[in-house]
Amino acid sequence: MNEPKEHKLRIGITLGDPHGIGPEVVMKALHDQALLELCTPVIFGNGKVLNAHRKAIGMEEFNVNPVREPDNLHQRRVNLWSTGEEDFQPEFGKPSPAAGQMALRALQTACDALQNGKIDVLVTGPIDKHTIQSAEFAFAGHTEFLQQRFGAGQSLMLLVNDDLRVGLVTGHVPVDQVASLITTESITQKVKLMLKSLTEDFGIRKPRIAVLGLNPHAGDNGTIGSHEQQTITPAIEALRSENHLVFGPYPADGFFGAGQWKQFDAVLAMYHDQGLAPFKALAFTAGVNFTAGLSIVRTSPDHGTAYDIAGKNLADETSTRQAIYLAIDVYRARKGWAALNTDPLKIQPMRSRDRDRDR
């Protein structure tokens, strides 16, 4: 009897802002035939936008299968799930509210498809956080939108490149608000989200986590601020009392400069640029933004719309390709974890005659 074929993952991919490099990097990434062996790509966006970018970068041979019925995906081709506005004409490099709303429609349609089981994972293209704003999207970015959309009380922005993983306590917030948001509770919550994700999404049995300080030199024993002594260290000690391998706080500059991150499975930074500046310096073209803590799997390239190079065939697709691969890996890891932690045989109470027989 033939064994059933392994489920071929349906990867939903949004184009992001149509005036940015999103369509270009998506097409370049999906031009890799190896990906079609692993998954069934489903692009969410506008056909004319895709055609305009295709002509601009000379990818005339890139073709898609238009999807009218979501259940009729072509298993060995790139599918295009149209999100409307067929008369839209993109203007490369120009921010516009119309482009922002097109990006939002693609995102909403993809989320609906994910929630309804029409796709398995989501890879989001870069958006313009300003032009996408509306009554339907009053969020600082994808992470916050998806956290609410899928009912997660907490989520964690986790930047990933091979063994380098950097998470954030605070994400898209102004710098002058960061200190007030760094609490023992917020650090503890983010570390626990990170521990759960490293175990279930990355298959790491006993993760080691490094926690950075907030102030220069991690406060230098209180000389340059007290957050480390009063807030961060108590969180670390409480987590260690629960037998978690959590260490710190470390001064961010020396920690990355000396390569200490290589001794850990992940690093928790206090704020956006403290974590992303060193991450992008180490992994700019291949880094991936993964949202941990959601019930669904979502990844994204770790760059923005790059309006200045849109339509010029200069965008590097490596981050988008890696985002697709990571989405596949995390999906499989979650399935493996669920299978590993589901006991197929319920333990029945031993009957009295069985007990007597076994004596």
CATH superfamily label, 1-152+294-342: Isopropylmalate Dehydrogenase (3.40.718.10)
Report the C-alpha gap between 55 and 46 in whole angstroms.
15
DSSP for residue 4: P
Residue 284 has which token pair? 């700019």
Report the C-alpha gap between 230 and 308 in whole angstroms.
44
Residue matched to tokens 């990571």: 326
**What 3-state class would DSSP assign to 87?**
coil
Sign of the torsion formed by the C-alpha atoms of 320, 325, 331 and 337: negative
Helical segments of 31-182, H only? 33-38, 47-56, 97-115, 142-149, 178-181
**What 3-state class would DSSP assign to 142?**
helix
Residue 359 has which token pair? 């004596």
265, amino acid identity: D
**What are the boundaries of each domain within the chain?**
1-152+294-342, 154-286
Contact 120, 330 (CB under 8 A): no
Contacts of residue 187, defined as CB under 8 A and 6 or more positions apart, other chains included, come to 169, 211, 231, 232, 235, 236, 268
DSSP for residue 313: T
Report the C-alpha gap between 87 and 77 in whole angstroms.
25
Report the C-alpha gap between 23 and 44 in whole angstroms.
10
* CATH architecture observed for domain 154-286: 3-Layer(aba) Sandwich (3.40)
The candidate with the shortest Cα–Cα distance to 231, out of 265, 270, 187, is: 187
- Peptide bond preceding 4: is omega within 30 degrees of 0, i.e. cis? no
Contact 82, 67 (CB under 8 A): yes
Number of separate helices (H) and strands (E) present in the chain: 13, 12
Residue 88 has which token pair? 């839209």
Per-residue pLDDT of the chain (359 residues; tens, 9 = 90+): 343 455 689 999 999 999 999 999 999 999 988 899 999 999 999 999 999 999 999 998 999 999 877 778 888 899 999 987 677 889 999 999 999 999 999 999 999 999 999 999 999 999 999 999 999 999 989 999 999 999 888 999 999 999 999 999 999 899 999 999 999 999 999 999 999 999 999 999 999 999 999 999 998 888 999 999 999 999 999 999 999 999 999 999 999 999 999 999 999 999 999 999 999 999 988 999 999 999 999 999 999 999 999 999 999 999 999 999 999 999 999 999 888 887 554 434 433 334 333 33
Whole-model pTM? 0.90
Residue 169 has which token pair? 């306590």
- The string over 38-77, giving b where at least 16 C-beta atoms fall within 10 Å of a residue's C-beta and e elsewhere, is ebbbbbbbbbbbbebbbebbebeebebbebeebeebeeee
Identical fold for domains 1-152+294-342 and 154-286, yes or no, is yes
Report the C-alpha gap between 81 and 202 in whole angstroms.
30
Q: Is 91 exposed, middle or buried (0-12, 13-18, 19+ CB in 10 A)?
A: middle
| Neighbouring C-beta atoms of residue 109, cutoff 10 Å | 20
Residue matched to tokens 């979650």: 334
223, amino acid identity: T
